[in-house]
Amino acid sequence: MKQWNGWGDDQNDLDLDLKPSALGYLQKIIGPSTPLPDATLEQAMSKVPASRLPPHELFSLDAEDRLRHARGQSLPDWLAMRSGEFGIFPDGVAFPTTSEQVQTLLQYAQQHQLSVIPYGGGTSVVGHINPEAGDRPVLTIDMTAMNQLMKLDRESQIATFGAGTTGPMVESLLAAQGYTLGHYPQSWELSTVGGWVASRSSGQQSLRYGRIEQMFAGGRIETLKGTLEIPSFPASSAGPDVREMFMGSEGRMGIITEVKVRITPLPEHESFHVIFFPDWDSGHKALRETAQSKVQLSMMRLSNTIETFTQLKLAGSGMAIKALEKYLALRGAGDSKTMFTLGVTGSRAQCKSALALARGIARRYGGVGTGTLLGKKWEHSRFRSPYLRHGLWEAGFVVDTMETALDWVSVPGAPAVMEAAISAALKDENETVHVFTHLSHIYPQGSSVYTTYIFRCGSDYAQTHARWEKLKAAGAEAIVKLGGTISHQHGVGKDHAKYLPAEKGELGIAAIHGLVEVFDPNGQMNPGKLLP
């Protein structure tokens, strides 16, 4: 079962403890810390109030179901879960198995003036699925019982899934038929295909398979105004695209119950490789040239110098890392080095040629290849890193991220601007923040910029939350000043809503309001999210 107060499934024993060398490194940079006390499930459950809903055959009023659907995975959510102070709970949780049941629930919600929160995997990091305080009872609709491969059209390479199908289920159902979707957000283990569409998700191999926008071909949506079927076309010039309107709708317009996605035959070959560049400048120029030359890689990620250093520290201070660093320094990638992780996916011939082209470009920028070991290590830990949050927490540290996307003209300087803003945010408390950045979704036009920050817990939960608020505001304001999007892949939810007008403009926000009102004139669907 999903952990009630952290990341992942409680059957997975992946609580990656911090290696002593990594702990020592963090303590040296930001100081030793004391972990905050965790509440027990019983303590947290004792605060669930009585439901305001009457019993109904299609939803549960059980206190534990309500607690398990009250929070997502943002840092405020993490602090709420760990302290046992969840705040607001849904009054009921439904687990529909058909689109018709979803429509029945929506009609009930309309009749009784409930707020409705569509819920996929609950992996939101921006407060998407948290109930708001208010007079209306809140019904959360958990879609994970709709988890089947409903149809497979081999000729057109379109698969239809129940919207609550999680990443591993999508891939195993498709792999049995010889196909893949290839959508791998780091939250893949728990997030769902409906959640991906509703929050405009991007997977680690978006370079080959595209973002969810390119994969989502159509589907079925239940709204308070009735059912909407979105047909799938390879392309269309028939006016504005209704399919587009539901991408990023964040549960505000309706509940996606069936999702048609564009799939690909399983690749013949896939491998990941690591190249080091002498510095940031050579690294980002090489990535830009690789993307603009349309080399067919499946992923590219460039860690800046401080992230490279941190990654190598987290990997341990063993002899192998020391030997690697010595070798790299001899080849020109010394203290300022940046780490480039790349993937190739496809036919053997395609992979061989793409790898040769990418290596050729990298060499011209001083890139030094390292064989396949580090690439294999990245592959091994690609979905394990979120568990590291547990190890950090137990040592009294908290980790969060900020991400944006910018044109190439602004990308090179962006990490320094974001890092400076975040680093300075706790200066008034004399607290040091450990901040580092990577570029991870690379486009010919620009790139996503993804900054991670680690800081010490305060002396209590309130102080820790206040620190996060300062850090988040500093990062978000830096992004707005840089002219970047407030989110490349995590969506808007509650935490980014106030920054959205800077991006969409007054008229743009009014148009989105208008669209939402067509489906939900009384503001019942996921209120308080997306729109400020």
Ligand X SMILES: Cc1cc2nc3c(=O)[nH]c(=O)nc-3n(C[C@H](O)[C@H](O)[C@H](O)COP(=O)(O)OP(=O)(O)OC[C@H]3O[C@@H](n4cnc5c(N)ncnc54)[C@H](O)[C@@H]3O)c2cc1C
Please tell me whether residue 377 adopts helix, strand or coil conformation: helix
Q: Of 188, 189, 219, which Cα lies nearest the Cα of 202?
A: 188
Please tell me whether residue 117 adopts helix, strand or coil conformation: strand
Distance CA 54, CA 440 (A): 47
Binding segment for ligand X (CB under 6 A), chosen from 63-71, 131-139, 405-413, 485-493, is: 485-493
Minimum distance from residue 180 beta carbon to ligand X (Å): 17
User: Which one, 121 or 346, has the nearer CB to ligand X?
Assistant: 121
Q: Of 449, 442, 437, 444, which Cα lies nearest the Cα of 410?
A: 449
> What length is written for the chain?
532
Distance CA 13, CA 11 (A): 6
Distance CA 282, CA 302 (A): 11
- Binders of ligand X among residues 63 to 82 (CB under 6 A) are 72-73
Verify binding: residue 497, ligand X, rule CB under 6 A: no
With contact defined as beta carbons under 8 Å apart, do 297 and 342 qualify? yes
With contact defined as beta carbons under 8 Å apart, do 125 and 108 qualify? no
User: Which one, 150 or 357, has the nearer CB to ligand X?
Assistant: 150
Dig out the tokens for 240 from the structure: 């504005």
Verify binding: residue 490, ligand X, rule CB under 6 A: yes
Among 6, 84, 96, 120, binds ligand X (CB under 6 A): 120
With contact defined as beta carbons under 8 Å apart, do 205 and 345 qualify? yes
Verify binding: residue 448, ligand X, rule CB under 6 A: no
Verify binding: residue 205, ligand X, rule CB under 6 A: no
Among 367, 526, 527, 528, binds ligand X (CB under 6 A): 526
Binding segment for ligand X (CB under 6 A), chosen from 186-194, 268-276, 415-423, 499-507, is: 186-194
Binding segment for ligand X (CB under 6 A), chosen from 89-97, 117-125, 226-234, 327-335, is: 117-125
Distance CA 30, CA 105 (A): 50
Minimum distance from residue 388 beta carbon to ligand X (Å): 10
Verify binding: residue 391, ligand X, rule CB under 6 A: no
Q: Of 63, 93, 66, 72, which Cα lies nearest the Cα of 6?
A: 72
Binding segment for ligand X (CB under 6 A), chosen from 179-187, 365-373, 430-438, 516-524, is: 179-187
Binding segment for ligand X (CB under 6 A), chosen from 21-29, 120-128, 286-294, 410-418, is: 120-128
Distance CA 60, CA 79 (A): 26
Distance CA 255, CA 226 (A): 11
Verify binding: residue 399, ligand X, rule CB under 6 A: no
Verify binding: residue 496, ligand X, rule CB under 6 A: no
User: Which one, 206 or 464, has the nearer CB to ligand X?
Assistant: 206
- Binders of ligand X among residues 276 to 295 (CB under 6 A) are none
User: Which one, 183 or 467, has the nearer CB to ligand X?
Assistant: 183
Among 128, 284, 337, 496, binds ligand X (CB under 6 A): 128
DSSP state of 253: S
Verify binding: residue 124, ligand X, rule CB under 6 A: yes
Distance CA 430, CA 466 (A): 14
Please tell me whether residue 46 adopts helix, strand or coil conformation: coil
Distance CA 508, CA 467 (A): 32
- Binders of ligand X among residues 357 to 386 (CB under 6 A) are 386
What are the backbone dihedrals phi and psi of residue 446, each rounded to the nearest 5 degrees, phi first?
180, -155
Q: What mask of x and - would describe binding to ligand X in positions 232 to 271, judged by CB under 6 A?
A: ------------------xx---xx---------------
Counting residues that bind ligand X (by CB under 6 A) gives 38
User: Which one, 204 or 304, has the nearer CB to ligand X?
Assistant: 204
Give the distance between the most distant pair of CA atoms in the chain.
72
Among 51, 192, 404, 423, binds ligand X (CB under 6 A): 192
Verify binding: residue 121, ligand X, rule CB under 6 A: yes
Verify binding: residue 131, ligand X, rule CB under 6 A: no
Question: Which amino acid is located at 234 in the chain?
Answer: P
Distance CA 433, CA 423 (A): 5
Please tell me whether residue 295 adopts helix, strand or coil conformation: coil
Minimum distance from residue 127 beta carbon to ligand X (Å): 9
Among 125, 159, 339, 500, binds ligand X (CB under 6 A): 125
Verify binding: residue 84, ligand X, rule CB under 6 A: no
Verify binding: residue 227, ligand X, rule CB under 6 A: no
Distance CA 87, CA 81 (A): 10
Binding segment for ligand X (CB under 6 A), chosen from 23-31, 185-193, 315-323, 338-346, is: 185-193
Binding segment for ligand X (CB under 6 A), chosen from 84-92, 171-179, 484-492, 495-503, is: 484-492
Please tell me whether residue 327 adopts helix, strand or coil conformation: helix
Buried b / exposed e over 40-70, threshold 16 CB at 10 Å, is eeeebbeebeebebeeeebbbbebebbbbbb
Binding positions for ligand X, rule: CB under 6 A: 7, 72-73, 117-125, 128-129, 143, 163, 185-187, 191-192, 194-196, 198-199, 201-202, 250-251, 255-256, 386, 489-491, 526, 529
